[in-house]
Amino acid sequence: MKKALVLGASGGMGFALVEELVSRNIPTIAFARSQKKLEEFKYEWGPLAEIYAGDVMNSSHLKEAISKADYVFHSLNIPYEKWDPTLFTMLQNILNECQNQNKPFIYVDNIYAYGRQARKVTEEAEKNPHTKKGKFRLKLQKEIEQSGVPYIIAHFPDFYGPKAESTLLQYTFEQCLKKNSAGFVGYTTIQKEFIYTKDGAKALVELALRDYTYNQTWNIAGAGTITGEEVVKIASKHLNKDIKVIPIHKWMIRLLGIFNPSMKEVVEMMYLNEVPVILDSSKYEREVGPLPKTPYEIGIVENLHELSKESLVEV
């Protein structure tokens, strides 16, 4: 039986990928730096998950982990301020080892490389990023395409879901649980797109298991669009309390950036919360099949339930 390797298994999408792979009876190596997190998550993943606490910057760790796998999923991410050059170096290390061992590479990417878009974007849309982060993501994509390694590049909108920390909606959900008001990054009346991590994992694993999907990019859209007001309305109904949604604007993020380097890096990406990029996944649906799309009313409630359990454990 073939085996998968998920790099960045302790993150939201990494966790969901391991969960999806083992649900299909695919033995999976869950690779991350935190032994503690991996041990906690293994209880949820079950016996088909093999945990590996390691660092992709360590060549021996990477070589050993990839040698045990038939598919290599890359869902690693690091704080914005550490992207350049660390994220690029990480990618080069992984691609070099995949090339040495002739292993296919499946990459979880965001929408930054598309830059500003006036309409739904297909995979053929011109990528003309205007931000340094968008240009950097495009550089990573070109590195993958020119590596000679069989690859899948999947573009996703903003994530939400179990274990998806440091995401925009996670911040809103945590405030909904604690208070009667919740901040939402960007305008609260604009339609934005999010994807439930479990849906994203299902779609990506489906791509990875098909030979004809390689050496291509794929857009994986969410379950439609939703406003910040609608997000908080769903949370209010589930939590049985009135919650006021408060927009967090660019000037507020910029002010926080004076004291927090991560917030400083968020400022240039605020255009996505003013003129959102919406993905067109017709290619996937035409060539693979229907996308899994958990309704927001279900995904948000499940995410809130998960966060409630975690807060109880902390107490």
Q: Per residue in 117-141, pLDDT tens?
A: 989 999 999 999 999 999 999 999 9
Instruction: Quote the pLDDT of residue 264.
Output: 74
User: Is omega for the bond preceding 85 within 30 degrees of 0, making it cis?
Assistant: yes
pLDDT at position 8 over 90? yes
| Other CB atoms within 10 Å distance of the CB of residue 25 | 8
Q: Per residue in 266-313, pLDDT tens?
A: 888 999 988 899 999 999 999 999 999 999 999 999 999 999 876 544
| Distance, CA of 81 to CA of 266 (rounded, Å) | 10
Determine, yes or no, domain membership for 238: no
Partner residues linked to 186 by β-bridges: 248
Q: What percent of the chain has pLDDT over 70?
A: 96
pLDDT at position 244 over 70? yes
Residue tagged 């400022």 (tokens): 267
| HEC readout, 188-257 | CCCCEEEEEHHHHHHHHHHHHCCHHHCCEEEECCCCCEECHHHHHHHHHHHHCCCCEEEEECHHHHHHHH
pLDDT bin (cut points 50, 70, 90) of residue 1 is: low
Coil, strand, or helix at residue 58? Answer: coil
Instruction: Quote the pLDDT of residue 288.
Output: 97
| Distance, CA of 134 to CA of 113 (rounded, Å) | 4
| Distance, CA of 84 to CA of 89 (rounded, Å) | 9
Instruction: Quote the pLDDT of residue 7.
Output: 98
pLDDT bin (cut points 50, 70, 90) of residue 152 is: very high
Instruction: Quote the pLDDT of residue 209.
Output: 96
Determine, yes or no, domain membership for 177: no
- Rounded mean pLDDT of 194-220? 98
Determine, yes or no, domain membership for 306: no
Determine, yes or no, domain membership for 234: no
pLDDT bin (cut points 50, 70, 90) of residue 256 is: low
Residue tagged 């995949």 (tokens): 98
Coil, strand, or helix at residue 168? Answer: helix
Q: Per residue in 33-81, pLDDT tens?
A: 999 999 999 999 999 999 999 999 999 999 999 999 999 999 998 888 8
State the DSSP H helix or E strand holding residue 263, giving kind and residue range, or none if neither.
Answer: helix 261-266
Question: What is the chain's Cα-based Rg?
Answer: 19
Determine, yes or no, domain membership for 209: yes
| Distance, CA of 282 to CA of 279 (rounded, Å) | 9
Coil, strand, or helix at residue 305? Answer: helix
Determine, yes or no, domain membership for 247: no
| Other CB atoms within 10 Å distance of the CB of residue 311 | 12
Question: Which CATH number covers residue 212?
Answer: 3.40.50.720
Q: What are 310's two structure tokens?
A: 């975690």
Strand 49-53 vs strand 71-74: parallel, antiparallel, or unpaired?
unpaired
pLDDT at position 259 over 80? no
pLDDT bin (cut points 50, 70, 90) of residue 262 is: low
Determine, yes or no, domain membership for 75: yes
State the DSSP H helix or E strand holding residue 50, giving kind and residue range, or none if neither.
Answer: strand 49-53
Q: What is the widest separation between alpha-carbon atoms in the chain?
A: 56
Q: What are 241's two structure tokens?
A: 């309390």
Count of domains for the chain: 1
Determine, yes or no, domain membership for 77: yes
pLDDT at position 145 over 90? yes
Look up the pTM and report it: 0.95
pLDDT at position 315 over 50? no
The dihedral over CA atoms of 217, 160, 138, 280, expressed in degrees to the nearest 10, equals 40
Instruction: Quote the pLDDT of residue 265.
Output: 81
Q: Per residue in 154-190, pLDDT tens?
A: 999 999 999 998 888 999 999 999 999 999 999 999 9
Domain that holds residue 284: 4-160+197-223+277-294
| Distance, CA of 148 to CA of 136 (rounded, Å) | 20
Q: Per residue in 225-238, pLDDT tens?
A: 999 999 999 999 99
